[in-house]
Structure 1
Amino acid sequence: MADIKKIATRDSYGRALKELAAQHKDLIVFDADLAGATKTNVFQKEYPDRHFDCGIAEGNMMAAAAGAAAMGLVPFASTFAMFAAGRAFEQIRNSIGYPHLNVKIGATHGGISVGEDGASHQCCEDFALMRSIPGMVVLCPSDDVEARAAVKAAYEHQGPVYLRFGRLAVPVFHDEDTFTFQIGKGEMIQDGTDVAILSTGLMVNEAAEAGRILKESGISARVINLCTIKPLDEEIVLAAARDCGKIITCEEHSVIGGLGEAVCALLSEKHPTPVKRIGVNDEFGHSGPAAALLKEAGLSAEHIVEVAKEFCN
């Protein structure tokens, strides 16, 4: 069996910007002294006059991006998730969200898979922060194909978009020739009737693997990819609740304020359903290899299987 290709979605981000720029002269990129890490240097090498290094001044970068959008350009403001969602929150809220400007925020290095950079850089609060801003679209793609499609969709969308990308290389499981992406629409990876596993980002591959293992154990698991955290695909979530009767959510984010809470809020109002949330359990991360940190936090196929078996039995 051939090895599965692995690509970090931050690499997909840089590649997608370069590809889009060839077609759209209004696309520009801002970066906060991290072009090598966010991979916007791929764009910079091709279009140096459309790439602006704002230095380690993320708030100012967001304000500059707002100004560019007000002039009719389509800026992608790029930095680590911790500095985008965290340090620059006030500028995003007031300078981008409040006037509903057409700024795209490319936030790389999200979640604990940042690894050795440690707790100060492991942003597990960004979904919660960005979901709270009225009109903000929040996207977290699962692999290279979806990430590049999400960047394209973000460009085409009128209004602010927050895109979260990862540092860790993850398996590419989508077929680029057949895959289609739409903001606000989820994707069924595997059908099932006993339990539904709703996941986002790098947890989608883990959920799919868990689904295969559970099938071998006689448990029919529906696996759903929710790249769009906001606006949530209510139709696919409610259908899963009606058909399966049990929901598990999986995210590389705090269990507070992210995908799990978005799903719980929807179900509590429209179709009360038992839910188990898998995520970072209200704690900070620490320095270490990404794979070890994910396993320690229970962000693995093996842990999803354990939770699902206990839930179903």
Structure 2
Amino acid sequence: MRNAFAEELTKLGQEDPRVVMLSGDIGNKLFDKFKAAQPDRFFNCGVAEQNMMGVAAGLAMNGLRPVVYTITPFVTTRCLEQIRTDVAYHDLPVTIVAVGAGLSYAGLGPTHHACEDISFLRSIPSMCVIAPGDRWEVQAALRSSLSQDRPVYIRMGKKNEPVIHDGSIETFEIGKVIVMAEGTDVCLLSTGNMLPEVMHAREALSEKGVSACVVSAHTVKPLDTVYLADAFQRFTRVVTIEEHSVVGGFGSAVAEWAVDAEADSRKLLRIGAPDKFFKLSGEQEFARERLGLTGPAIAERIVSSLMKQRTTS
């Protein structure tokens, strides 16, 4: 995902002289092409993320389109006050791009885990929150974010994520889901880098006789409420899947909507990381296995939920 981001940023920088790149002491080689084309529009702000966010706000106030980039907890938790007060309060067109969302950096321990950022960012007024599912969604999300006049948070994975979309997704629209595969029994709403695992879950469910629709819900804020209303009408189960805490994340956003819209919230199943720190040592695949965030584990959880639903109905 990060390579796709760098490629698209380079293109956008050539198209729009207002685009400015600010990096929090990472990705220097990643942005070599951008720096070669626009050397006066790349700033390595060092390990000073709070200051970097303030600089971005100032640049945006002066008519530029700053893109801020570093590892997820350092571009969110560390400078949350600056995001809230400097950027969002003034409704500035700053695009905040986080690399390594969820458990992408699992091997570096809890300091680099990011399972709370959606909760933090979506609670800030004016903030748009996007979690792309693959490289195509990353590029489309970046291009879309720079075409509007509001703050945007883009939550990426890290590297080597499978490409799920076939070719360019020109129909990408902030706040509108993308249906990846049709189904009739359950609706799997995937957000962020869980999309490949959700596609695997669909295959596992098919083997068990369950027809699953897979949807890339790349925008957490604003939600696609039109699609949600239809999904809660049509499907037996609506499942949210995310590599984020079940507290405050995408599933929580859907649950809040369901209550307010008076949808049948009994149909909702939320799958995500538990409300506790993951303290074991291991890489992302290991963390997902232990937390039940693999395709087979997701399918088993859904089948169990359907059986329980049948016995209680």
Is the structural similarity TM-score above 0.5? yes
| Structure 2 residue 89 is the aligned partner of structure 1 residue 98 | yes
> Would you say the 8 A contact 2:137–2:169 is kept in 1?
no
Deviations 1:152-211 (A, max 9, x none): 011112110001111142110112245521000001112222211111112112112211
> Would you say the 8 A contact 1:141–1:227 is kept in 2?
yes
In the aligned structure 2, how far is the partner of 1:68 from the partner of 1:177? 31
In the aligned structure 2, how far is the partner of 1:177 from the partner of 1:227? 15
In the aligned structure 2, how far is the partner of 1:217 from the partner of 1:230? 33
Q: Following TM superposition, where does structure 1 have runs of at least 4 consecutive aligned residues deviating by more than 3 angstroms? A: 39-42
Matches within 5 A, 1:46-125: 46-125=37-116
The alignment partner of 1:202 has SS state of helix
Match for residue 242 of structure 1? 233
| Structure 2 residue 269 is the aligned partner of structure 1 residue 276 | yes
Deviations 1:203-226 (A, max 9, x none): 112112211221232111121111
TM-score by length of 1: 0.93
In the aligned structure 1, how far is the partner of 2:79 from the partner of 2:32? 22
Match for residue 310 of structure 2? none
In the aligned structure 2, how far is the partner of 1:47 from the partner of 1:112? 33
Match of 2:15 among 23, 36, 42: 23
Deviations 1:16-48 (A, max 9, x none): 1111111111100011111248x3444234322
Residue 209 of structure 1 aligns to which amino acid in structure 2? H
TM-score by length of 2: 0.93
Match for residue 5 of structure 1? none
More displaced, 258-267 or 288-297?
Answer: 288-297
Residue 151 of structure 1 aligns to which amino acid in structure 2? L
> Would you say the 8 A contact 1:199–1:225 is kept in 2?
yes
Q: How many residues align?
A: 304
Matches within 5 A, 1:155-166: 155-166=146-157
The alignment partner of 1:208 has SS state of helix
| Structure 1 stretches lacking a partner, 5+ long | 1-8
Deviations 1:30-89 (A, max 9, x none): 11111248x344423432211011111101000000000000000001111101110000
> Would you say the 8 A contact 1:113–1:294 is kept in 2?
no
In the aligned structure 2, how far is the partner of 1:106 from the partner of 1:42? 18
- Tell me: CA distance 1:279–1:168, structure 2 relative to 1, closer, same or farther (3 Å): farther
In the aligned structure 2, how far is the partner of 1:177 from the partner of 1:149? 8
Match for residue 299 of structure 2? 305
The alignment partner of 2:157 has SS state of coil
Match of 2:139 among 137, 141, 148: 148
In the aligned structure 2, how far is the partner of 1:178 from the partner of 1:145? 7
In the aligned structure 2, how far is the partner of 1:177 from the partner of 1:290? 27
> Would you say the 8 A contact 1:18–1:43 is kept in 2?
yes
RMSD: 1.4
> Would you say the 8 A contact 1:184–1:233 is kept in 2?
yes
> Would you say the 8 A contact 1:29–1:40 is kept in 2?
no
| Structure 2 stretches lacking a partner, 5+ long | 308-313
